[in-house]
Amino acid sequence: MVVVDGFDEESGEGLVASGKISLVTSSDDSRFETKAGYYTDYYLTNTIVPVGATSITSLIFYVEHNEESSFGVGNLVWLTDSNTVSTTPTLIIDNDGTTSWDVPVGSITPADVNSLVFRVQNNDVANGKLTKVDYIYADVDWLE
Ligand SMILES: [Ca+2]
Ligand SMILES: [Ca+2]
């Protein structure tokens, strides 16, 4: 699953509307930056899980990202499933690395995956540092 649109809280703009969606659809060292005190939502394609799917068995996000030096530990939060599931990923300072997030699927339904949103929440207000995303995609498995 790949990112097809998004929403930038700071500008109030959609990522397709602003022309910035391509920043996060490939690993090319062009990145979307989320400032401290703001979130960015990324919407993933909704065409993969068939109508007959009965349960989601695996949902893994892969995020190529980095954070500015002095970004505070614990101040980066990723959320999904209508923001009911979250994680505080290990920071990757200055140079891109890919972090995978194997989401606990207990509460994840096929309908959730068909309107999947990945939120990057930057809570680093005390330091004012950026988190930057080069590429996001997700793998999902289900039972029919
Ligand atoms: Ca990169
Ligand atoms: Ca990119």
Domain boundaries, the chain: 3-143
Identify the band that residue 47 occupies on the pLDDT scale cut at 50, 70 and 90: low
Q: Rounded distance, CA 129 to CA 127, Å?
A: 6
Q: Rounded distance, CA 94 to CA 138, Å?
A: 23
Distance 21 CA to ligand 2 centre (A): 9
Q: Inform me whether the pLDDT recorded for 41 exceeds 90.
A: yes
Cα-to-chain-centroid distance, residue 50: 23
Q: Find out whether 62 and 144 touch, Cβ atoms under 8 Å.
A: no
Identify the band that residue 50 occupies on the pLDDT scale cut at 50, 70 and 90: confident
Q: Which fold has domain 3-143?
A: Jelly Rolls (2.60.120)
Distance 85 CA to ligand 2 centre (A): 25
Q: Tell me which residue has tokens 């397709």.
A: 16
Distance 29 CA to ligand 1 centre (A): 4
pLDDT of 114 reads 87
Q: Find out whether 101 and 125 touch, Cβ atoms under 8 Å.
A: no
Distance 94 CA to ligand 1 centre (A): 11
